[in-house]
Amino acid sequence: MKMTVSMLSGAPRVSRSLGGILIDSGLLKPEDAERVLLVQKEHNLRFGDAAVRLGLLTEADIQYALSRQFAYAYLRKSPGEKKPVSDELVAAYEPFSSRVEELRAVRSQLMLRWFDKADQRQVLTIVGAERGEGRSHLAANLAVVFSQLGERTLLVDADLRHPRQHELFYLENKIGFSTVLSGRSREEAIVRIPDLAGLCVLPAGPVPPNPLELLNRLNFDEFLIQAKATFDIVIIDTPALSVGEDAAMVAVRTGAALAVARNSQTKVSGFADMVLGLMNAGVSVVGSVLNEVPASKAKKEKDQ
């Protein structure tokens, strides 16, 4: 198996002007940019402050343009326009919110405790004991914040029983991880997310009748070798341990896991048994996250 996904290495240099980004984004008309420049020079203001003073732009518009200028990709919700990804990807839509600040804190801890490309510690499995705990939600948002850090990031949906990542990223699911493991597809199954630079997603693909057998194949090890050669960070979403041993098997093959629990839902005994079982199997449980998923989202994930 040979993976040849082309990715940009590192973030682009800051070179485009703020006005140019605003015009290209459709937030500012060229003729209005001239008015902004006049006010900027007259009052010795920054370009963005002058545009806001004229009422042509909002602070949110300026923040968006600055993020683009410094290669910090995130998405804007525009009324009447089709959204490129689900609202559940708060890291993509609300990067400056307190919720995403918590995700960045988790990212920092993972960078300190596990991820190290020099030691080939690039793959992390997201595990949970029960359904509806928000594993897919967390995996997807973590992948976004890692890509925003400038890391070449691959999100893999290894939940071959109740996959969700294709729904979160609005992707087709005709090919994916299951077809890669079965040898019916290769790197063409990996989808680059154009609106989030540095992020690629490998959806689960068609739900197979034999997920455990697929995960036992040598193709999985070959896939991991190629993924680590191509990407800086690989995050793997898995099904709950309550529905099968898939997650444990994936965690053993990758060597590391982040354990997820959900407030007021996860049983302490079940969570402790899961962590102990993984550690006894030689898995490095690098941390745990107490997740708080909106009730409607958690119910949807549990019912699927």
Does 286 map to a domain? yes
pLDDT digits (tens, 9 = 90+) for 45-90: 888 888 888 888 887 777 766 666 656 667 777 666 788 999 999 9
For the cut 60, the answer to whether the pLDDT of residue 97 exceeds it is: yes
For the cut 90, the answer to whether the pLDDT of residue 252 exceeds it is: yes
Does 275 map to a domain? yes
111 lies in the same domain as 147: yes
Domain ranges, residue 29:
18-69
Tokens 């914040």 sit on residue: 145
168 lies in the same domain as 258: yes
Write down which residue in 10, 37, 69 finishes a domain: 69
Work out the percent of the chain whose per-residue pLDDT is above 70.
Answer: 86
201 lies in the same domain as 239: yes
160 lies in the same domain as 41: no
Six token digits for residue 148 = 């925003």
**Alpha-carbon distances, residue 247 vs 66, 82, 166, 257 (angstroms):** 40, 34, 19, 9
Burial 104-128 (b: 16+ CB within 10 A, else e): bebbeebeeebbeeeeebbbbbbbb
- What is the model's pTM? 0.78
Gap between the Cα atoms of 259 and 238, Å rounded: 11
Sequence letter at residue 107? R
The region of weakest confidence among 8-12, 66-70, 115-119, 215-219 is 8-12
Note whether 64 and 76 are within 8 A (CB). Answer: yes
Q: What is the model's pLDDT at position 108?
A: 95
For the cut 60, the answer to whether the pLDDT of residue 129 exceeds it is: yes
